[in-house]
Chains A and B, each alone.
Chain A
Amino acid sequence: MASLVGYYSLLAGFCCSFLIIYFSIINFKDTKILDKRILSFTFFQFFFVVISFFGLIISFVASDFSNETVFNNSHTTKPLFYKISGTWGNHEGSLLLWLLVLTLFIYLFLLNSVGQKKNYRVLTLLFQEIIIIGFFVFLIKTSNPFNYIMPTPKEGLGLNPILQDPALAIHPPVLYLGYVGSSIIFSSALAGVTLNYISKDWAKHIKSWVFISWIFLTLGILLGSIWAYYELGWGGFWFWDPVENVSLMPWLSLTTLLHCILVLEKRNILNSWAIILSITTFALSMCGTFLVRSGILNSVHTFANDPERGLFILIFLFILIFLSFFVFFFFHKNENKTLINLNWVSKETAILINNWFMMYFLIVVLIGTVYPIFLEVITSEKISVGPPFFHKLIIPFLIPFLIFMAIGPQLKWIKSNLKNKLYLILFLIISFILTVLIVKNLSINFFTNTILLTAAFFLFFITVRDFFKKKFSNLSQNISHFGFSLLILSILFNNIFSSEIITNLKIGETFVSDKFKISFNDIKQKDEQNYKAIIGKFKVIDSKGSNLIMSPELRIYNQPNIVTSEADIKTNLLTDKFMTMNLVQNQDYFNIRYQIKPFMAWIWISVILICFGGLISLFKKKYEN
């Protein structure tokens, strides 16, 4: 029943698109004010998609297995929370969520842009409706979430257990808010180009959308990363896996756009650059969906998928890119043909330089992700590109990037001079000395680590100084840059000071090394609603003699029948102690991994700080208005 309502509601929402387009075109020519009917239909469209989405949630909660999506992804014994989150844990549901956010955002955009020109609003709506129609067709044609199965099965297939996790339950919605937010930027940029409205005013208006998408995208990536850290049991937080890379690419592009928009707002330059970045960000978001859903990526995060869907998204993506190129080349007039007077020593130059660095990072990630696909198509040679590639190409350029990031905010717009900037050199020297003191006793690559740490410390000290010196005049930027320096420092220290032990143990055995003694005391069994747990008990004694009891867990899920391991993580502000236990089929041995990961918590905290900076900027803008 709920499925039926959901399906027809979806069709009703689809029909709304055409009505909206019809009224928009009429409205575009005639009157001066926005037709009220457009607003109503945009709301109705959103409303219908909400009904449809709730229809799917109800089907999941009620375990209505006559619905194919529910059958494939749910099970009666699954806890209620995961029945609900299972709604968007699968392909069909997640696309419905995309659509939901698309329609919500365009409605919010119309409400939020009352002060803007009518034609700009209508045109943005039109471009957005093209995207919405594309997704409707995609959903209804290739991945209808409301397909029937006859006869109704008694039991569902269940949700992949590693997806049954709180962080991953909210990861897709948050990430999608970021992805889809970029669609508004895309539509509005195209509308702006057509009406020749890419200016200070446009920048001021679209800025809040850029910030909103950016905050959600950052949080979404953070959630995915935290999940990978504790659920996959590798103790890492970033693996340069293709699926991770496709979320990093729009982030890089959006971060670049965010800075570019600030320059556009202040100086009315870089107009074309802002448009290109708006288009790129959305194209990359679509690419992300395409690459993850089509299955052409060879990733550790790959889930079951369908090539036909991939083809559809690819064609749709090409149409959108073609459309935006068309709009860009035919309508874009670069008016301020008086050569842009960029002074070498100014804030905008520093931002522009770092824009280029970020574009470089983006190109590296893009090539590293896409190259294996092309090579396989052309030569049928199968390859993978691993972390060394990315590290080698990104780390050296991170150094000037960090330094410019520290210096940029110290400069003024338009023209700045270098007098009274002696403290910069002073801080650089302090950072260098501090780094040498830390690095010299360690058996690591002295050269690279010293330079990298110096640059990171430099940014750290400069941003800390700004907190006091600038009296919170630019707090949001300050917090985000501070957060970034903290992030880089935490990652570096985490890398340098991590240690791990991997061994195979039977119950009752003890592993002894010069640093630790790990005894495997016993195991317990526990029955839960939809899995059986085997909990190990380990005693870890380190060289200082302190005791630690670790109890990692193995979960054997009933449906589908999968074993997952739950790491036991003891977190405090300085270090994480991390233990996982894996069962080897038909053997007495358990595979044990014990890791000490310093500053792990700070990686998460610093990313939250970065987001927080964005949030402040968003609210400050509201407050000023």
Chain B
Amino acid sequence: MYGRKVKLRFFFVFLILTILSLSIFLILKSLEENVVYFKSPTEIKILSEINNNKIRIGGMVKENSILIEEKKLKFVVTDFKNEINVVYSGVIPNLFAEGKGVVAEGFLKDRSFFSATKILAKHDENYMPPEVKKALEEK
């Protein structure tokens, strides 16, 4: 009924559409699995359940809270409403200091205890994570 060329073109369009929708599906699917949510200490306090997903927390490093041992580093992150204890072993960025903003990535053990796998450095000493800034403005 239709010519060979028309059929071929239909086949092409069909193929491209299938590939396109398949790849979009793939991307969205793995996006769901791989995103890391950002929470402030206050948001963690009101969390209904604690699961095993990787999250990021952010806030200020509480004054006089840094404690360092050979293997690990302990400190307290605060958003001036709530606090959370963090334990970490790994590279400590230079801009990490008491009274400065910090973002840590890792796993929640319970609502006041966080085990970090990474502390993120920022390039700018005056830089504050937007999330922390917001949390500070809200208080």
A-side interface mostly:
mixed
- A-B contacts, 20 listed (Cβ < 8 Å): A160-B123, A298-B129, A302-B122, A302-B127, A303-B127, A364-B27, A367-B31, A371-B35, A372-B35, A381-B37, A383-B37, A384-B35, A384-B56, A561-B125, A580-B91, A582-B92, A584-B73, A585-B97, A587-B66, A591-B73
The answer to whether A368 touches B91, judged by C-beta atoms less than 8 angstroms apart, is no
The smallest C-beta distance from A360 to any residue of chain B, in angstroms, reads: 6
Question: What is the bound-complex CA distance between A569 and B118, given in angstroms?
Answer: 22
Q: Is B51 an interface residue (CB 8 A)?
A: no
- Name, among B9, B24, B34, the residue most crowded by chain A CB atoms within 10 Å (CB to CB): B34
Kindly identify which residue among A233, A304, A580, A586 contacts B66, using a CB–CB cutoff of 8 Å: A586
Query: Which chain B residues lie closer than 8 Å to A381 at the CB level?
Result: 37
Q: Closest residue to A502 on the B side, CB-wise?
A: B90
Kindly identify which residue among B5, B38, B69 contacts A382, using a CB–CB cutoff of 8 Å: B38
Return the CB mask of B52-81 against A: 1 if under 8 Å, else 0. Answer: 000010000000001011111100000000
The smallest C-beta distance from B104 to any residue of chain A, in angstroms, reads: 12
The answer to whether B127 touches A393, judged by C-beta atoms less than 8 angstroms apart, is no
The answer to whether B30 touches A386, judged by C-beta atoms less than 8 angstroms apart, is no
> Which 9 residue pairs spanning A and B have beta carbons closest together?
A382-B38, A389-B34, A591-B92, A383-B35, A563-B94, A585-B97, A589-B68, A587-B68, A388-B34
Q: A284-333: which have CB < 8 Å to B?
A: 298, 300-304
The answer to whether B66 touches A503, judged by C-beta atoms less than 8 angstroms apart, is no
The answer to whether B31 touches A303, judged by C-beta atoms less than 8 angstroms apart, is no
Q: Closest residue to B93 on the A side, CB-wise?
A: A582
Query: Which chain A residues lie closer than 8 Å to B38 at the CB level?
Result: 382-384
Count contacts on A: residues with CB < 8 A to the other chain. Answer: 52
The answer to whether A562 touches B95, judged by C-beta atoms less than 8 angstroms apart, is yes
Q: Is B87 an interface residue (CB 8 A)?
A: no
The answer to whether B98 touches A386, judged by C-beta atoms less than 8 angstroms apart, is no
Q: Closest residue to A564 on the B side, CB-wise?
A: B94
Kindly identify which residue among B90, B98, B126 contacts A304, using a CB–CB cutoff of 8 Å: B126
Question: What is the bound-complex CA distance between A466 and B26, given in angstroms?
Answer: 36
The answer to whether A504 and B70 touch (CB under 8 A), given A384-B35, A389-B30, A393-B30, is yes
The answer to whether A371 touches B92, judged by C-beta atoms less than 8 angstroms apart, is no
Query: Which chain B residues lie closer than 8 Å to A304 at the CB level?
Result: 124, 126-127
Question: What is the bound-complex CA distance between A339 and B122, given in angstroms?
Answer: 54
Q: Is B115 an interface residue (CB 8 A)?
A: no
Q: Closest residue to B121 on the A side, CB-wise?
A: A300
The answer to whether A232 touches B34, judged by C-beta atoms less than 8 angstroms apart, is no
Query: Which chain A residues lie closer than 8 Å to B85 at the CB level?
Result: none
With A384-B36, A589-B68 already in contact, 16 other A-B pairs whose C-beta atoms are closer than 8 Å = A232-B121, A300-B122, A302-B122, A303-B123, A304-B127, A372-B35, A383-B38, A384-B38, A385-B36, A389-B31, A393-B27, A504-B68, A509-B70, A562-B125, A563-B94, A587-B68
Q: Closest residue to A388 on the B side, CB-wise?
A: B34
The answer to whether B35 touches A389, judged by C-beta atoms less than 8 angstroms apart, is yes
The answer to whether A584 touches B125, judged by C-beta atoms less than 8 angstroms apart, is no
Query: Which chain A residues lie closer than 8 Å to B123 at the CB level?
Result: 160, 162, 300-303
